[in-house]
Amino acid sequence: MSIITKHILPQILPPLLVVLSLEMAGLLLVLSSLSFLGLGAQPPAAEWGAMLNEARPFFAERPSVVLAPGIVIILAVLSFNLVGEGIRFQLDKRKPYRW
């Protein structure tokens, strides 16, 4: 157990956190797209993709109804990606290889 905590875990933790953060962004996009198509959670549950689908007929009259969930999806995915890049930048202490 001491070998795992001292040698293996510090080497796999930074890439694992970055991959986890980027996969969360992808998962959010997949869930939103499935609920937009009607394959996600059922209507009593509030989902951003379902909100986009329900607001589609009213886009010409009130674009803010469509833009609000769309902007929230964009900001959430962007924040997950930026957090992943920040974690990678902070935890990656390896020096570049010199030729």
Residue 93 has pLDDT above 80, yes or no: no
Claim: this prediction has a pTM higher than 0.75: yes
> DSSP secondary-structure letter at 92?
-
Report the pLDDT value the prediction gives residue 20, as an integer from 0 to 100.
92
Q: Are residues 35 and 50 in contact, defined by beta-carbon separation less than 8 angstroms? A: yes
Count how many domains the chain has: 1
Is 74 part of a structural domain of the chain?
Answer: yes
Question: Which residue range(s) make up the domain with 52?
Answer: 15-91
Instruction: Name the pLDDT band for 96 (thresholds 50, 70, 90).
Output: low
Residue 98 lies in a domain: no
Asked if 25 and 77 touch (Cβ cutoff 8 Å), the reply is: yes
Question: Looking at residue 76, what is its pLDDT?
Answer: 94
Residue 71 confidence class, pLDDT cut points 50, 70, 90 = very high
Over residues 2-29, mean pLDDT: 87
Pairwise CA distance, residues 16 & 87, whole Å: 10
The answer to whether residue 5 is domain-embedded is no
* Alpha-carbon span 39 to 51, nearest angstrom: 13
| 3-class state of residue 71 by DSSP | helix
